[in-house]
Amino acid sequence: MKSFSSIREDLKDIRYYYMRKEDFDKAFSTTGENIILKKVHQYHEVMKQASPKLYDLYISLYINCHTQESLSDKLGFTPEYIQMLNKQLLKYLQSQLITNERECAS
């Protein structure tokens, strides 16, 4: 089972990738793809089945690189509400990543 801290680290890596995507993509043509792409694809697959609210949160925080604070301002929600949604996102990812690991092992 992936821990919340492990999922948070993965999400930080995904956010970093998207912050520097253009440079990563240029480098891939020379060095080959980095393992971050495997992680990105794994999380994207899991998020395809998420509720619209969690999907939007994932896109906003980790692909569009908003902070929780800037996202709360943009959407008109309190920062505490965004934090609560982010915890729901972590729980969703944890449960879905476990399910995907079991399916791959079968």
Percent of the chain with pLDDT over 70: 92
17-32 mean pLDDT: 93
Place of tokens 């449960």: 95
Q: Is 50 exposed, middle or buried (0-12, 13-18, 19+ CB in 10 A)?
A: middle
pLDDT at residue number 29: 87
Domain ranges (residues) in the chain: 4-105
pLDDT tens readout for residues 89-102: 999 999 999 876 66
Question: Does residue 46 register a pLDDT over 80?
Answer: yes
- 4-105 under CATH 1.10.10, yes or no: yes
Distance of CA 18 to the CA centre of its chain: 10
Mean pLDDT of the chain: 93
